[in-house]
Each structure stands twice: as C-alpha cells, then as structure tokens.
Amino acid sequence: MDVERISHRNLGRDDRIISDHGKEGRFPFLDEKVVDFLNGLAVNEKMDMRLGKGFGDKLLLRLLAYRLGLENASRQPKRAIQFGARTAKMESGKDKGNTSL
C-alpha cells in the first residue's frame, strides 16, 4: 500500500523540495526498526477510533507527544505535510509537487 510506494511517490518529491532549500530531510518514523516495531503491534494498540478523530487516530503519536510536553500538538488534527506547512496554498496553477518537469 502506501508504504510500498512512498519512496518513489513522496520521498523523491519531498527530498527535491527540501534540498532546494539547502536542508536535508529526516524521517524517523520510516526507520526500519520503528516500522518493524509498529508492524508488530495490533491495530487497537495504535489507534482507537471510538475516541474520535483528533485523538483516536494516531493514538500512539498523540500519547507520545503528550508525554513529551507537547499537549497542544497532541490534539491537532492530522494534515498532510504540504497542508500542515501551508505550502499547498503557495502553489499556483495546476502544477503540483509531484509534477514532472
């Protein structure tokens, strides 16, 4: 699914955008040990949709953020990076970040 195509669909685009600004991206949630650990957990250990959107989704991340003192971040709705950073609003016309030049 998404994990199988992330390297050629998203990471290439993201790397180009990030490196254009002289930075190097870090993606700790894509670390092999992290992915293996999370794949070993049952779905109900990672999320509980009975708690509703904005808390039950991404439950592990929200609990971790809360424990790290990021209470406000733990309650924020999930957004794709281009929307979270508001870069989607900066794009003009029909070209998007994954458009081939």
Taking the model in full, what pTM does it have?
Answer: 0.58
> How many helices (H) and strands (E) in the chain?
7, 0
Provide the domain count of the chain.
Answer: 2
Q: Is the pLDDT higher at 47 or at 88?
A: 47
- Of the pLDDT bands very low, low, confident and very high (cuts 50, 70, 90), residue 40 is very high
Q: In which domain, by residue range, is 82 found?
A: 42-91
Neighbours of 56 (CB within 10 A): 13
Do residue 69 and residue 36 come from a single domain? no
Do residue 6 and residue 36 come from a single domain? yes
Instruction: Summarize the confidence of residues 73-96 as an average pLDDT.
Output: 66
For residue 67, count CB atoms less than 10 angstroms from its CB and return exposed for 0-12, middle for 13-18, buried for 19 or more: exposed
Residue 98 lies in a domain: no
Do residue 79 and residue 61 come from a single domain? yes
Q: Is the pLDDT higher at 75 or at 85?
A: 75
Do residue 46 and residue 16 come from a single domain? no
Residue 70 lies in a domain: yes
Do residue 47 and residue 78 come from a single domain? yes
pLDDT one-digit tens code per residue, 48-75:
989 887 788 888 889 999 999 999 988 8
Do residue 46 and residue 84 come from a single domain? yes
Do residue 33 and residue 50 come from a single domain? no
Do residue 55 and residue 35 come from a single domain? no
pLDDT at 36 over 80: yes
Report the percentage of the chain scoring pLDDT > 70.
Answer: 77
Do residue 5 and residue 32 come from a single domain? yes
